[in-house]
Amino acid sequence: MMDKPQILVQASEDVSYTIFDVDWYPGSAKLVSVGCQPRGTGVVQVFEITDGKMVECGSASLPNASKCCTFGASAMTDRKLIVGDMKGQISVVDLEKLQSVETVGAHDDAVNCIDGFGGLGAEGKGDLEAVVVKWWHLIWLV
């Protein structure tokens, strides 16, 4: 019957910006998209899938176009999204309040991809990138 891979659309929503990354909101039926608005600013938008439809729960604007995001450095109960942008900055966005709570410089150019791991017990043993992620994570937890 299906001899080729298929993408089955569960729900969709039109947006007025270019989406660069989407991530599932941990432990929920929500998802977060980040991207660039036509005026060059960033956007973080939260959606919930309810009865097969995507419903917007809210959005936050950021000063620079948002390129990537992760919940990897956030506890399940914390609800903070880490966002990398086109100007090389990393922002922590509180999704309960829908606002940026901290922004730090990370690169001279765009942050194209971001990931993390979390928890105060994380030892940071491994490659250099793991240690850097732990360093960022500890800054935001303290």
Give residue 118's pLDDT.
58
pLDDT for residue 135: 46
Task: Output the CATH code of domain 18-141.
Answer: 2.130.10.10
**What does the radius of gyration of the chain's CA atoms come to, in whole angstroms?**
16
Dig out the tokens for 29 from the structure.
Answer: 């039926």
Q: Could you report the per-residue pLDDT of 120-138, keeping only the tens digit for each?
A: 555 544 444 444 444 444 4
* Domain spans, the chain: 18-141
pLDDT, position 131: 44
CA 71 to the chain's CA centroid: 6
Six token digits for residue 18: 């270019």
- Whether the CB-CB separation of 57 and 46 falls below 8 Å is answered with yes
The confidence score (pLDDT) of residue 123 equals 52
Q: Which residue has the tokens 């929500």?
A: 30
Tell me the two tokens of residue 27: 């432990």
The pLDDT, as a whole number, for residue 23 is: 93
> pLDDT tens for residues 8-55?
888 889 999 999 999 998 888 999 999 999 999 999 999 999 998 999
SS (H, E, C) 25-50: CCCCCEEEEEEECCCCCEEEEEEEEE
Q: Kindly state the average pLDDT of the residues 86-104.
A: 91
State the Cα–Cα distance between residues 85 and 117, nearest whole angstrom: 19
Looking at residue 137, what is its pLDDT?
45
Asked whether the beta carbons of 75 and 90 are under 8 A apart, the reply is: no
42-87 per-position pLDDT tens digit: 999 999 999 989 999 999 999 999 999 998 877 777 778 999 999 9
Q: Assess contact for 88 and 94: CB atoms under 8 A.
A: no
DSSP state of 77: T
